[in-house]
Amino acid sequence: MKIERVEVRELALPLRYPFETSFGRTTRKQFLLVAVTAGGVTGYGECVADRDPYYLPETNGTVAHVLDEFLIPLLLQLEIAHPREVWPGLARVRGHEMAKASLDMAVWELWARREGVPLRRVLGGEKTTIEAGVSVGLQDDEAALLGKVETEIAAGYRRIKIKIKPGHDVGLVRALRQRFGRVPLMVDANSAYTLDDVAVLRELDPLGLMMIEQPLAWSDIVDHAALQRELRTPICLDESIRSPDDARHALALGACRVINIKAGRVGGFTTSLAIHDLCRSRGIPVWCGGMLESGIGRLANVHLQTLPGFSLPGDTSASARYFEEDLVDPPVVVSADGRIAVPEGPGIGHEIVWPRVERATVTRRSWTP
Ligand code: OSB
Ligand code: MG
């Protein structure tokens, strides 16, 4: 298979509510949507980069540059017998995992459409429903957080994650425990702490958290290994794992006991499968993170977590928590018992609503060989 056309659109979608983490506040989802065409069939990949480099170094601007100058020209030269060949085919470009992922994921999605099967089938996933968890952003005060969490528990979510940062951590978790008892609960710091904060992080230890996600620096695994030795609560790495090698190194050092896999962060599906398989062989649970994706990326995440190693609920929640109108129809919905049905149609399996994509499109460019 030769790719005949690549199109990259930049989209902007308003969020229903701002989403706040330790690194900033997002009010509008701004992202790149990649379309790749071969043999008259088109597949789609949603890039997880944002406008700013506050989560990880890549931005929409760096992704657009690297796609245009380097990755798309490479992709258009490849003779692709299977989507797993895309990742090695782009290996000459170092780093830029979000940019590579957008192409890799689009080619996998194209492949599923060509075969007429749901994306999960080409990825090797067997589940027909997945367990939904939810990520609750930083709120203005404790009462607002308690209210949000109450809503999400009532909606059926099987695991609650809250964002924390210094000064907004132990007290919030204690208040949640007091109000909601033993609900499956975890926290995500998005790299807001250092080893100087070990005393505060130790105070979280008796609170029965499922895990503490990415407490220390985005580029670190050595300090996380030191911290993990100080805590009974498992550390989960997100930002620090950007490749299968990162995962191997982190496990070798004992830097974490759980890994959050976001295909868009680690270079796409091929590398996600490699991290999944590595973790599975070591008895390390993985779960699927999210990046406030539109329905296109959200459904890609749904299919990925049908693989057996995704043994914990992830961050894939309902479209309606983020968007007034999602780009897919039907939107992603969560059942009263906290599950998402995996679509049965080809590729991501829900229709893309093109008039909505057009309205959200800010810029658009295409390439042919
Ligand atoms: O760290 O998992 C994260 C959102 C944006 C950037 C980073 C993260 C998140 C989330 C939200 O936690 C997950 C989601 O609902 O998509
Ligand atoms: Mg995270």
Write out pLDDT tens, residues 109-127: 999 999 999 999 999 999 9
Contact 265, 48 (CB under 8 A): yes
Cα gap 201→189, rounded to integer Å: 11
Is-contact 4 35, C-beta < 8 A? Answer: no
Secondary structure (3-state) at 254:
coil
Please indicate whether residue 48, judged by its CB atom, sits closer than 6 Å to ligand 1. Answer: no
Ion ligand 2: residues, Cβ under 5 Å: 188, 213, 238
Q: Are strands 212-213 and 185-188 parallel, antiparallel or unpaired?
A: parallel
pLDDT digits (tens, 9 = 90+) for 89-112: 999 999 999 999 999 999 999 999
Model pLDDT for residues 36-49, shown as the tens digit of each residue: 999 999 999 999 99
Per-position DSSP letters for 42-58, written without gaps between them: EEEEE---BSSSSSSS-
Residue 315 near ligand 1, beta carbon < 6 Å = yes
Q: How confident is the model at residue 5 (pLDDT cuts 50, 70, 90)?
A: very high
Ligand 1 probe mutation, 19, 26, 29, most atoms within 8 A of CB: 19
pLDDT reported for residue 63:
98
pLDDT of residue 187: 98
Q: How far is the CA of 188 from the centre of ligand 1 (A)?
A: 9
Q: Which two tokens stand for residue 259?
A: 């890994």
List pLDDT tens digits, range 291-322.
999 999 999 999 999 999 999 999 999 999 99
Indicate whether residue 289 lines ligand 1 (CB < 6 A): yes
The reported pLDDT for the residue numbered 95 is: 98
Q: What is the predicted pLDDT for the residue at 102?
A: 98
pLDDT band at residue 81, thresholds of 50, 70 and 90? very high
Q: Give Cα separations from 104 to 115, 187, 238, 348 (angstroms).
A: 17, 30, 20, 14
Q: What's the whole-number mean pLDDT along residues 195-207? A: 98
What's the mean pLDDT in 154-169? 98
pLDDT of residue 344: 98
The whole-number average pLDDT for the span 150-167 is 98
In this structure, which residue's CA is closest to atom 4 in ligand 1? 291
